C-alpha cells in the first residue's frame, strides 16, 4: 500500500472532535470552579477557627463568663481543646520519651515476620511454634491517635510537661454553640 492510499483511507469524524474539544473545555472550567470553591472553603475554615478559638473566647474572658445561656435555650460555651500527633520524624524520640517517663504502655507493639517465597515451611513451623506458646505474630509500634490525645490532655490538666515538639501538641480554647431545636 502506498502513502497516498493509506492517507486516503484514514477518516476523522470532525463532529466527534468538536465534542471532545467542548468536553475538554468544560472539564477545565469545572476544575477551575472546584479550585475556586476549595479556596473559598479554606478561607471559611480559617475564619471559623479564628472566631471559635480566639475572638469569642477572648470576648467571653473579657466579660468574665465561661458559659452564656440564651432565652431560647441555646448556649455558648468555651472549652479547652487538645490535639496531638507524633510527626513521623519524631516517632523514635516520642516512644523513647514515653518509655523513659513510665508511659510505655501507651505504645501498641505488634510483631510481623516476613518470609521469602521458598520459606513457606519455615514460616508455617514458626507460626505453629508461636501459636503453641500462645502468641500471635506481627510487629508494628504505634500509639492510637485518640489515646495520645487523651494522654496529652490528662498530662496538661495535671500540670505535667509534655514535649510539644515531639508530640505535636496543640491546645486551644474552642467555642461550642448548642442550639435548641
pTM: 0.57
DSSP bridge pairs for 178: 75
pLDDT at 31: 97
Q: Which pLDDT score is estimated for 24?
A: 94
At residue 120, the pLDDT reads 75
Q: Which of 93, 64, 98, 97 is nearest to 78 (CA)?
A: 64
Which of 44, 55, 73 is CA-nearest to residue 177? 73
- Pairing between β-strand 75-83 and β-strand 67-69 as defined by DSSP bridges: antiparallel
Q: 40 is written with which cell numbers? A: 473559598
Q: What is the pLDDT of residue 18?
A: 84
Q: Compute the distance between CA of residue 46 and CA of residue 55 in angstroms, rounded to an integer.
A: 12
For each successive 10 residues of the chain (181 residues), what is the average pLDDT?
Answer: 58 77 95 97 96 94 91 91 91 93 88 73 82 71 86 92 89 89 71
Q: How many helices (H) and strands (E) does the chain have?
A: 7, 5
Amino acid at each position: 500500500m502506498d502513502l497516498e492510499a493509506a492517507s486516503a483511507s484514514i477518516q476523522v469524524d470532525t463532529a466527534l472532535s468538536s465534542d471532545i474539544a467542548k468536553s475538554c473545555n468544560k472539564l477545565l472550567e469545572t476544575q477551575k470552579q472546584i479550585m475556586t470553591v476549595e479556596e473559598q472553603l479554606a478561607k471559611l475554615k480559617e475564619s471559623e477557627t479564628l472566631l471559635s478559638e480566639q475572638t469569642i473566647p477572648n470576648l467571653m474572658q473579657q466579660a468574665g463568663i465561661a458559659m452564656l445561656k440564651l432565652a431560647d435555650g441555646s448556649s455558648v460555651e468555651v472549652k479547652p481543646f487538645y490535639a496531638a500527633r507524633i510527626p513521623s520524624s519524631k516517632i523514635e524520640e516520642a516512644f523513647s520519651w514515653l518509655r523513659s517517663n513510665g508511659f510505655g504502655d501507651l505504645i501498641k507493639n505488634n510483631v510481623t515476620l516476613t518470609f521469602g517465597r521458598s520459606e513457606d515451611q519455615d514460616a508455617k513451623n514458626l507460626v505453629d511454634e508461636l501459636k503453641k506458646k500462645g502468641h500471635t505474630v506481627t510487629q508494628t509500634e504505634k500509639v492510637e491517635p485518640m489515646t495520645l490525645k487523651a494522654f496529652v490532655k490528662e498530662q496538661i490538666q495535671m500540670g505535667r510537661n509534655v514535649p510539644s515538639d515531639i508530640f505535636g501538641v496543640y491546645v486551644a480554647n474552642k467555642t461550642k454553640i448548642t442550639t435548641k431545636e
